[in-house]
């Protein structure tokens, strides 16, 4: 199948923070949209469709908040849809915008959204509600405990230590210092991470992403439109998604298809994106990766799912400096999800950051000579994995 290239022509993102008292929800969406529209120098009349990036309603406290956001994105009388795949919502929104264009239905599509996680008081209370109310919700499952159990299994299988996890935090924070959009921009040390209070063994406070407020918007266009209008662009050349089955307990025991330690379906999603982009050797062909990783331990299985290390080998390579911003396989030079997580748009920011890198517009956190990047998103408990390849 010959899928046409789709261009990214405009990017806007907030300076992520714990709270924004100066802007209510639709105003925050509008802020990101205005930045993206100014970036591509188009007007709202040029936009044919809007994909609205919005994770679980309860995080915002507004049911179907895309209704409230319809004016912020200028969607009146246009094709308009909301996407919600939990943490991967943002990359699913980019994929939906991509499909609108690759299918030939539209030439110019806006993907946009925002989140105010800081206003919900406690995201884990809400995220506990993603488990079924019959068998599993009576247990206090949340995204932290679910991924703490993944860390326990990953450590058991591959020997990851708490210090290895801390090393991811140190790398991410050092990177975020150079990214003015990141929420947590203070450097830290392995010692500081190890001394931070235990949240859910083995995940400590500093191993966790923050609850962030901010928005993101991207304008995508067809290659024909970009050529005709002589616009600047970078190109989405690969898109992939995959899912695993529902029950955590099926990813362990006897004869399981995927291990809760790993990110099996993320690997499938990445391989689909790589196949579409013609990537056969990611270590040689991928210059930079922006992988969704809300807790330090999950960056290891994300790196491995991206084909940048073999299963279980990423902690040792991290120790040797492989994945730092100036290392041989840069991962999360923005500081990643560990330094900003406005859930509805976090996975869109991964694509946006990958695009800025291959565009040469990442300023202080620019990876030298980055021409091809991979971005990912994870949602639910291993249900919604997405990957996108972006090239200059």
Partner 1 sequence: MELMTRTEKWNITYNHALGETASWFFAQIRDNQQIYGRRDAKTKRVLVPPRPFSDESLEPTNEWVPVGPEGTIECFTIVYEAFNNLPDPPYAFGYVLLKGADTAIGGYFKGLDLSDGAVVAKQLAIGTKVMTHFAKDRQGDSLDFWFELV
**Where along the sequence are the contacts to partner 1 (CB under 8 A)?**
21-22, 58, 61, 121-122, 124-125, 128, 133-136, 138-142, 144-145, 148-150, 152-153, 156, 197-203, 245-250, 252-257, 260
CB 131 within 8 A of CB 124: no
**Least distance (Å) between residue 305 CB and partner 1:** 19
Q: Which is nearer to partner 1, 4 or 121 (CB)?
A: 121
CA-closest candidate to residue 97, choices 114, 85, 115, 79: 79
**Least distance (Å) between residue 142 CB and partner 1:** 7
Helix and strand numbers (H, E) in the chain are 14, 11
Which DSSP symbol is given to 363?
G
Q: Which is nearer to partner 1, 251 or 325 (CB)?
A: 251
C-beta neighbour count of 199 within 10 angstroms: 17
Alpha carbon of residue 324 to chain centroid: 18
Using CA atoms, how far residue 338 sits from 119, 186, 211, in Å, is 19, 12, 10
**Least distance (Å) between residue 376 CB and partner 1:** 23
**Least distance (Å) between residue 81 CB and partner 1:** 25
Q: Which is nearer to partner 1, 271 or 383 (CB)?
A: 383
**Least distance (Å) between residue 263 CB and partner 1:** 15
CB 33 within 8 A of CB 112: yes
Q: Which is nearer to partner 1, 49 or 65 (CB)?
A: 65
**Least distance (Å) between residue 203 CB and partner 1:** 8
CA-closest candidate to residue 110, choices 196, 178, 37: 37
Judged on CB neighbours under 10 Å (0-12, 13-18, 19+), 178 is: middle
Which DSSP symbol is given to 199?
E
Distance CA 39, CA 37 (A): 5
Cis geometry, peptide bond prior to residue 202 (ω within 30 degrees of 0): yes
Pairing label, strands 372-379, 203-204: unpaired
**Least distance (Å) between residue 381 CB and partner 1:** 12
CA-closest candidate to residue 35, choices 374, 391, 345: 345
**Least distance (Å) between residue 208 CB and partner 1:** 9
Q: Which is nearer to partner 1, 178 or 199 (CB)?
A: 199
**Least distance (Å) between residue 35 CB and partner 1:** 22
Query: DSSP alpha helices (H): ranges in 159-249?
Result: 162-176, 190-195, 223-228
Beta bridge partners, 389, equal: 238, 374
Contacts of 256 (CB under 8 A, 6+ apart): 250
**Least distance (Å) between residue 166 CB and partner 1:** 15
Q: Which is nearer to partner 1, 104 or 256 (CB)?
A: 256
Q: Which is nearer to partner 1, 100 or 251 (CB)?
A: 251
CA-closest candidate to residue 307, choices 252, 337, 269: 269
């Amino acid at each position: 199948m010959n899928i046409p290239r789709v261009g990214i022509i405009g990017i806007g993102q907030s300076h992520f923070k714990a709270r924004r008292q100066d802007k209510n929800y639709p105003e925050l969406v509008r802020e990101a949209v205005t930045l993206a529209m100014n970036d591509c120098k188009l007007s709202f009349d040029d936009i044919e469709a809007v994909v609205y990036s919005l994770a679980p309603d309860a995080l915002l406290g507004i049911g179907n908040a895309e209704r409230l956001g319809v004016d912020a994105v200028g969607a009146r009388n246009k094709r308009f849809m909301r996407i919600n795949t939990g943490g991967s919502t943002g990359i699913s929104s980019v994929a939906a915008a991509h499909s609108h264009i690759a299918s030939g239905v539209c030439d110019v599509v806006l993907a946009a959204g925002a989140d105010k996680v800081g206003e919900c008081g406690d995201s884990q209370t809400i995220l506990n509600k993603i488990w079924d109310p019959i068998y599993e919700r009576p247990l206090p499952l949340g995204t932290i405990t679910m991924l703490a159990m993944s860390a326990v299994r990953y450590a058991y299988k591959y020997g990851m230590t708490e210090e290895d996890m801390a090393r991811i935090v140190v790398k991410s924070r050092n990177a975020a210092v150079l990214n003015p959009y990141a929420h947590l921009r203070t450097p830290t040390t392995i010692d500081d991470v190890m001394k931070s209070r235990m949240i859910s063994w083995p995940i400590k406070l500093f191993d966790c992403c923050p609850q962030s407020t901010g928005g993101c918007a991207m304008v995508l266009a067809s290659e024909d439109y970009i050529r005709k209008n002589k616009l600047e662009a970078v190109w989405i050349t690969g898109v992939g998604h995959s899912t695993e089955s529902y029950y955590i307990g099926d990813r362990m025991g006897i004869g399981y298809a995927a291990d809760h330690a790993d990110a099996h379906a993320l690997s499938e999603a990445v391989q689909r994106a790589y196949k579409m982009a013609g990537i056969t050797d990611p270590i040689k062909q991928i210059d930079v990766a922006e992988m969704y990783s809300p807790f330090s331990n999950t960056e290891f299985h994300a790196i491995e799912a991206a084909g940048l290390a073999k299963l279980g080998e990423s902690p040792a390579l991290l120790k040797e400096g492989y994945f730092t911003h100036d290392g041989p396989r840069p991962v999360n030079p923005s500081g990643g999800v560990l330094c900003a997580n406005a859930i509805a748009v976090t996975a869109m920011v991964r694509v946006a950051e990958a695009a800025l890198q291959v565009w040469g517009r990442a300023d202080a956190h620019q990876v030298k000579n980055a021409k091809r990047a991979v971005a990912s998103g994870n949602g639910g408990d291993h249900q919604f994995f997405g990957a996108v390849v972006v090239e200059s």
